[in-house]
Structure 1
Amino acid sequence: MPPRTRVRSVQAVDEHQAREVDMTAESRSIVENEKSGESTDVAPAASSSGSATPREGNTIKGRDQPKAILAMFNDTESFEEEIDEMEEWHDSLDLQTNDLEESHFLGSSAMQDLTLLMDNSSSQSSVPKFPFRQVSEDPRTHVFFVKSPAFVYGKGMTVSHTIFERVCSMLGTGWPETLMQKFLQVTLPAFPILNTMRLLAACNSQREAGPLPHALLCGIMGHSIEYEPGVKHLFKSVWKDVVAAEDEEYKQPRLQTLQLAIISLATRPSQAHAVNAMSLARSVSIAHMIGLHLDCSDWRLPRWERSVRKRVWWALVIMDKWIAMVHGRPSLIHKINRSVPLPTIDDTDWGEFSSTQPEEDTVAENSMASFIGQCEISLIIEDMLDKFYSQDAQRRIGRATGEDLRSLSSELDGLQARIPDRLKWIPGIAPTGLVASGIHCFQLTFLGVRVLIARLYFTSYQEHSRVSGAEAQSIDVSLKICEDFVTFLEELRPDSDYKSFWLPHCSFLISTCLGLLLRIAVRIHIQQNRQREIAAQASIAGKLPRWHEYSLSLINRLVVNLLLAVDLHQWELAETAMIRGNDLLKSTATVLPALAELADGPARTASATAPGDAFPDFGQQLGDHSLFMGDWSWALNLGDGWNLGESTD
Structure 2
Amino acid sequence: MARPNNTPIPIAVARPPPQRRVPSKDQSQPQQPLVHLKAASPFVAAAGVANHRTRRERPCDACRRRKSRCVINEGASLCVLCEFHKQDCTFVQDPQPRKRKVPTDEPRPESSPKKRSIGVESARPSPPTSVGKPASSPRQRPAVIQRLDIGHVLTESLGLQTSKHGRYIGLTSPFDSTLIGLSQFDSRNESILALGTLRRVNDHDTFIMFSDDTSRDYGSDADILQAIHRVVAPHGPALIDLYFRVVHDSFPILQKQIFLERYRSPTHTVSPPLLAGMYILALNWWSHDSTLAPLPRPDVTQLESIASISLAAAMQRPKLSTVQAGLLLLQRPEADSWSLTTQLVAIGQELGLHLDCTTWSIPQWEVGLRKRIAWALYMQDKWSSLIHGRPSHIFSANWAVKPITPEDEADEASPAGAAGEEDKAEAEKGQILFRQMISLTAIMAEIMDTFYTQIAIQDFANAGRDSTRLILERAKPVQIKLKEWFSKLPAVVRMDNVTPKHLSSTGFLHLAYFATEITLHRRIVGSLDTTNSDPYLLYICRSAAKTRLISAMDFVNRLRPEHLQAFWYFPSKINFTLIGTFGGLLWATAPAKEEADFYRTRLREYRWTLSVSSDRADFLDYAVQMLDTSRSMLRNLADKPSLAQMQAQTSSVGVPAVPRPAAPARRAESGAEQEERAGDVSPPLTRNTSVSVFSGFSSEALDQYQEETRNGPDTPPSSVG
TM-score (norm 2): 0.62
Aligned to 2:576: 510
The answer to whether residue 492 in structure 2 is matched with residue 422 in structure 1 is yes
CA contact (8 A) 2:273 2:310 kept: yes
Given that 2:378 and 2:394 are in contact with CA atoms closer than 8 Å, whether structure 1 keeps it comes out as yes
Residue in structure 2 matched with residue 528 of structure 1 by the alignment? 592
Counterparts of 1:357-396 in structure 2, within 5 Å, are 357-396=420-459
| Paired amino acid for 1:260 | A
Secondary structure of 1:212's counterpart equals coil
| Residue-by-residue CA offset, 1:425-448 (whole Å, 9 max, x unaligned) | 3xxx57345766532221221122
CA–CA separation in structure 2 for the residues paired with 1:447 and 1:162: 45
Aligned length in residues: 494
Using a 3 Å threshold, how does the CA distance of structure 1 residues 157 and 565 change in structure 2: closer, same or farther? farther
After TM superposition, give the deviation of residue 316 of structure 1 in Å. 0.7
**Structure 2 residue aligned with 1:239, among 283, 293, 304?**
304
- Give the conservation status (yes or no) of the 8 Å contact 1:190–1:437: no
Which residue does the alignment assign to 1:285?
346
> What amino acid sits opposite 1:315 in the alignment?
A
Q: Secondary structure at the match of 1:228?
A: helix
Mapping 1:10-89, distance limit 5 Å = 16=129, 54=132, 79-80=135-136, 84=140
Are the aligned partners of 2:503 and 2:563 in contact in 1 as well (CA < 8 Å)? no
Structure 1 pair 361/248, CA: closer, same or farther in 2 (3 Å)?
A: same
What does residue 45 of structure 2 align with? none
**How far is the alpha carbon of 1:340 from its aligned partner?**
0.3
1:322 to 383, 392, 409: 383
Q: Counterpart of 1:520 in structure 2: which amino acid?
A: L
Is 1:294 aligned to residue 355 of structure 2?
Answer: yes
Deviation at 1:577, TM superposition (A): 1.3
Q: CA RMSD in A?
A: 3.6
Residue number in structure 2 paired with 1:577: 623
Which residue is equivalent to 1:554?
A: 602
| 1:214 paired to 2:275 | no
Kept in 2: contact 1:380–1:411 (CA 8 A): yes
Structure 1 residues 23-57: Cα deviation after superposition (integer angstroms, max 9, x where no partner): xxxxxxxxxxxxxxxxxxxxxxxxxxxxxx65xxx
The change in CA–CA distance for 1:164 and 1:124 in structure 2 (over 3 A counts) is closer
1:338 lines up with 2:379 in the alignment = no
Deviations 1:161-213 (A, max 9, x none): 43443344344x44433332221111111111111111111111167xx7232
Indicate if the aligned counterparts of 1:196 and 1:349 stay in contact, CA closer than 8 A: no
Cα pair 1:219 1:263 within 8 Å, conserved: yes
Percent of aligned pairs with the same amino acid = 18
Matched, 1:142 2:204: yes
Q: 2:540 corresponds to which residue?
A: 473
- Contact 2:242-2:285 at 8 Å conserved across structures: yes
Q: Secondary structure at the match of 2:217?
A: coil
SS at match of 2:407: coil
- 1: CA distance between counterparts of 2:607 and 2:639? 15
Asked if structure 1 preserves the Cα contact closer than 8 Å seen for 2:498 and 2:504, the reply is no
1:318-350 Cα offsets, whole Å, 9 max, x none, are: 111111111111111111111001213332242
CA deviation after TM superposition for structure 1 residue 79, in Å: 4.5
| Cα distance, 1:97 vs structure 2 | 5.2
Shift of 1:522: 2.7
- Superimposed CA distance per residue, residues 123-159 of structure 1 (whole angstroms, 9 cap, x where no aligned partner): 999x9875322212xxxx421112234464442341x
- The one-letter amino acid paired with 2:604 is N
Q: How far did residue 464 of structure 1 move?
A: 4.5
Which has the bigger relative contact order, CA under 8 A and spacing at least 6? Answer: 1
Which protein is richer in helix relative to its size? 1
Pair 109,500 (structure 1): closer, same or farther in 2 beyond 3 Å: same
* Counterpart amino acid of residue 490 in structure 1: N
- Structure 2 portions without partners, runs of 5+: 1-121, 145-152, 288-292, 462-466, 641-718
Q: Give the direction of change, closer, same or farther, for the CA distance of 1:435–1:181 in structure 2 (3 Å limit).
A: same
Partner residue in 1 for 2:329: 264
Amino acid at match of 2:344: S
Question: How far apart, CA to CA, are the structure 1 residues paired with 2:166 and 2:505?
Answer: 34
Structure 1 counterpart SS, 2:393: coil
Question: CA 1:152/1:278 → structure 2, altered by over 3 Å: closer, same or farther?
Answer: farther
Conserved in 2, the CA contact under 8 Å of 1:520 and 1:551?
A: yes
Q: 1:599: which partner in 2?
A: none
* Whole-angstrom CA distance in 2 between matches of 1:317 and 1:591: 39
> Cα distance 1:393–1:117, how it changes in 2: closer, same or farther (>3 A)?
same
Question: Hey, what does 2:320 align to over in structure 1?
Answer: 255
Alignment of 1:418-497 (within 5 A): 418-425=488-495, 429=496, 431-433=498-500, 437-464=504-531, 468-494=535-561, 496-497=562-563
Name the structure 1 match of 2:367. Answer: 306
Q: 1:320 to 1:103 in 2, by over 3 A?
A: same
> Do 2:160 and 2:321's aligned partners in 1 also have CA atoms closer than 8 Å?
no
d(CA) in 1 for partners of 2:134, 2:364 = 20
Bigger-Rg structure (1/2): 2
Amino acid at match of 2:631: L
The residue identity in structure 2 corresponding to 1:563 is: S
Mapped to 2, the partners of 1:117 and 1:92 lie a distance apart of 21
Corresponding position of 1:186? 246
CA distance, structure 1, for counterparts of residue 313 and residue 156 of structure 2:
26
Q: What amino acid sits opposite 1:228 in the alignment?
A: W
User: In structure 2, the residue corresponding to 1:419 is in which secondary structure?
Assistant: coil
Q: Secondary structure at 2:168's aligned position in 1?
A: strand
Change over 3 Å in CA distance of 1:7–1:442 after alignment to 2: farther
Deviation, 1:452, is 1.9
Runs (5+) with no aligned partner, structure 1: 1-5, 21-52, 55-76, 530-544, 595-646
Q: Deviations over 1:374-408 (max 9, x none)?
A: 11122122212211111222233324622211122
| TM-score normalised over the length of structure 1 | 0.68
2:613 is the counterpart of 1:565:
yes
Q: Structure 1, residues 596-618: CA drift from partner, whole Å, max 9, x if none?
A: xxxxxxxxxxxxxxxxxxxxxxx
| Alpha-carbon distance change, 215 to 478 in structure 1, aligned in 2, over 3 angstroms | same
Paired residues of 1:423 and 1:443 also in contact (CA < 8 A): no
| Aligned equivalents of 1:517, 1:586: Cα separation in 2 | 14
CA 1:268 to 1:392, structure 2 compared with 1: closer, same or farther past 3 Å? same
Corresponding residue for residue 44 of structure 2: none
How far residue 82 of structure 1 moved from its aligned partner, in angstroms, is: 11
| Whole-angstrom distance in 1 between the partners of 2:380 and 2:491 | 25
SS of aligned partner of 1:508: helix
Output the amino acid matched with 1:485: A
Partners of 2:179 and 2:357 in 1: how far apart?
A: 23
Helix, strand or coil: the match of 2:259?
helix
Asked if the contact 1:521/1:552 (under 8 Å) is kept, the reply is yes
- CA positional deviation for 1:227: 2.7
CA, structure 1 residues 242+119, in 2 after alignment: closer, same or farther (shift >3 Å)? closer
Q: Distance in 1 between matches of 2:565 and 2:234?
A: 20
Cα distance, 1:528–1:344 mapped onto 2, change above 3 Å: same
Q: Structure 1 residue 223 and structure 2 residue 269: aligned?
A: no
SS at 2:208's partner residue?
Answer: strand
Offset from partner CA, 1:46-69 (integer Å, 9 cap, x none):
xxxxxxx65xxxxxxxxxxxxxxx
Which whole-Å CA distance do the structure 2 matches of 1:513 and 1:177 have between them? 39
User: In structure 2, what is the Cα distance between the partners aligned to 1:444 and 1:482?
Assistant: 12
Q: 1:202 to 1:430 in 2, by over 3 A?
A: closer
Counterpart Cα distance in 1 of 2:599 and 2:497: 26
Query: Per the alignment, in what secondary structure is the counterpart of residue 451 of structure 2?
Result: helix
